[in-house]
Amino acid sequence: MLMKNQLVELEITDFTSDGEGVGKARGCTFFVKDAVIGDKVLIRVTKIRKNYAYGHLDRLIVPSPKRINAPCPEYKRCGGCQLQALSYEEQLRFKKNKVINNLVRIGGFPREEIGRITEEVIGMQDLRMMSDMIPGEEPGCFRYRNKAQYPVGRDKDGNLLAGFYAGRSHTIIPVEDCLIGIPENRRILDAILEWMRTFGIAPYDETTKTGTVRHILIRKGFRTGEIMVCLVINEKRLPNEDELVRALGKLPLPEDSRICQISYSVNTEDTNVIMGNGYRTIFGKDTITDMIGNLTFRLSPLSFFQVNPVQTERLYAKTLEYARLTGEETVWDLYCGIGTISLFLAKSAKQVYGVEIIPQAIADARMNAKENGIENVRFYVGKAEDVISGALSGESRERSNPDEGPLPGEKLTNPDVIVVDPPRKGCDPLCLDTMLKMSPQRIVYVSCDSATLARDLKILHAGGYELRSVTPVDMFPQTVHVETVVLMGKTVTRSKSHVDLGLDVEDYYKIKDAEKEQE
**Residues with active-site annotation:** 448
Q: Is 6 exposed, middle or buried (0-12, 13-18, 19+ CB in 10 A)?
A: middle
- Find the angle CA(473)-CA(474)-CA(475) to the nearest 5 degrees: 100
Torsion over CA: 255, 260, 264, 270 (sign): negative
- Find the angle CA(425)-CA(430)-CA(436) to the nearest 5 degrees: 110
Report how far residue 358's alpha carbon sits from residue 368's, in angstroms, rounded to the nearest whole number: 15
Contact criterion met (CB below 8 Å) for 216 and 191? no
Q: Collapsing DSSP states into helix, strand and coil, what is residue 21?
A: strand
DSSP tag of 252: -
Contact criterion met (CB below 8 Å) for 425 and 455? no
DSSP tag of 121: P
Report how far residue 5's alpha carbon sits from residue 40's, in angstroms, rounded to the nearest whole number: 18
Contact criterion met (CB below 8 Å) for 489 and 441? yes
Residue 4's nearest CA partner among 61, 55, 59 is: 55
Report how far residue 291's alpha carbon sits from residue 298's, in angstroms, rounded to the nearest whole number: 9
| Ramachandran angles phi, psi of 58, nearest 5° | -85, -40
- Number of Cβ within 10 Å of residue 357's Cβ equals 14
Report how far residue 463's alpha carbon sits from residue 269's, in angstroms, rounded to the nearest whole number: 42
- Number of Cβ within 10 Å of residue 47's Cβ equals 11
How many angstroms separate the Cα of 392 from the Cα of each of 354, 385, 408, 437, 444? 17, 10, 11, 9, 22
Identify the helix (H) or strand (E) that includes residue 217. Answer: strand 213-220
Kindly provide the residue ranges of all beta strands, DSSP E only, lying in 399-516, ordered along the sequence. 417-420, 442-447, 465-473, 483-490
Residue 44's nearest CA partner among 53, 516, 36, 52 is: 53
